Structure 1
Amino acid sequence: MHREDNEKKMRVSFDLDEVLFVSPLTHKTEPELMFPFNKIFKERLRLGTPDLINGLQALGYEVWVYTSSFRSERYIRTLFRLYKVKFDGIINGNRHLREVQKDHKETLPQKLPNRYRISLHVDDETVICSWGREYGFNTYQLEAQDDDWKDKIIARAEEIRGKSEP
């Protein structure tokens, strides 16, 4: 039996906008989807997104989306399936409000990855990454175009996994 079979897999989550969905004017992107899908799904994926997600899963990680957008889970799953990517979990704005914010009187941060046992969250927003320090979750801030982004995220995930193993 493999080690992963009797242990919980480490989870890595990604924001969508400006992380996985980027503008071809400012970032290298995956090829546009074929007609008619390119008319339904107008978002463009950062170059290397399918390779990174599938690579993380091959290394034994669960890969999730954690976005504050209100795109439906079905929309997100369908778009990524067209790129041969299958997420292990999706948290959108609706799910976050229902399961995390719930009936809390104080407004909680728009993302709390540790509530879903996510070990590393990749985001572009400085405020989300600063909340990681305050609320106790690990982040990787992905900013502008970076040809080495996949290697850096895998290295960060491996560093966190290494610290959590006995």
Structure 2
Amino acid sequence: MRISFDIDDTLVIHAPNTPTEPRRFPVFVHRWFGEPLRRGTCSLMAGLRRRGCSIWIYTSSGRTPFGIRLWMFLYGIRIDGVINDERHRRNLSKHRFIRMPSKFPPAFGIDLHIDDSEGVLMEGRDHGFRVIVVSPHDERWTKKVMDAVDAVDSDILPKTPVIPTPPRGSGGR
């Protein structure tokens, strides 16, 4: 199973006093190469790897794939793929969307996307892909992700049904 994670407010919480993963290198190294990861991320990623999952990052930010891979490496996490805003736009320009979604995991073979945004959940409903929303304040967020992985494996969590949209050019103009 291929799983993607958003960064901001999903893997990195910018609120003060948010519990984070312990750093494996001196602070000055982490300041140059990344932000502190949300507590539970390292064990979650290790658990997903044990289950044979492929781990991707899908962010609408301008962070570079190299920078993201290096940042995650500093925490001992191997990333299989990175979709940033540039790759997202380049790939989705080939599709015919009335309104381009902020994320579209099926274009990259992703089975489940983890995000903090209710808007991405709505896009999942509109375009037929699986999204689990985790709140930045949820201390049990890793369990929610693992439960979702179990549900996808068991086919209990089907793809969100697509809400039909009118074809381009229609709409009574």
Do the two structures share a fold, i.e. TM-score over 0.5? yes
Aligned positions of 1:7-46 closer than 5 A:
10-23=1-14, 25=16, 27-32=18-23, 33-46=25-38
Structure 1: 5+ residue stretches without partners: 1-9
Deviation at 1:137, TM superposition (A): 0.5
* TM-score between both structures, scaled by the size of structure 1: 0.85
Q: Which has the larger radius of gyration?
A: 2
Matched, 1:72 2:55: no
Rounded to whole Å, the distance in 2 between the matches of 1:43 and 1:153 is 21
Q: Where does structure 2 lack aligned partners over 5 or more consecutive residues?
A: 157-173
When residues 148 and 75 of structure 1 are mapped into structure 2, their CA distance, relative to the original with a 3 A threshold, is: same
Identity %: 34
Moved more, 33-42 or 128-137: 33-42
Structure 1 or 2: larger helix share? 1
Paired positions, count: 155
Offset of 1:158 from its aligned partner? 1.1
Give the CA RMSD over aligned residues.
1.8
What SS does the corresponding residue of 2:155 show, helix, strand or coil? helix
The 2-side partners of 1:60 and 1:136 are apart by: 24
2:80 maps to a residue whose letter is: D
Q: Give the corresponding residue for 1:63.
A: 55
Cα distance change of structure 1 residues 156 and 135 upon mapping to structure 2, 3 Å threshold: same
Give the structure 2 partner of residue 114 of structure 1: 106
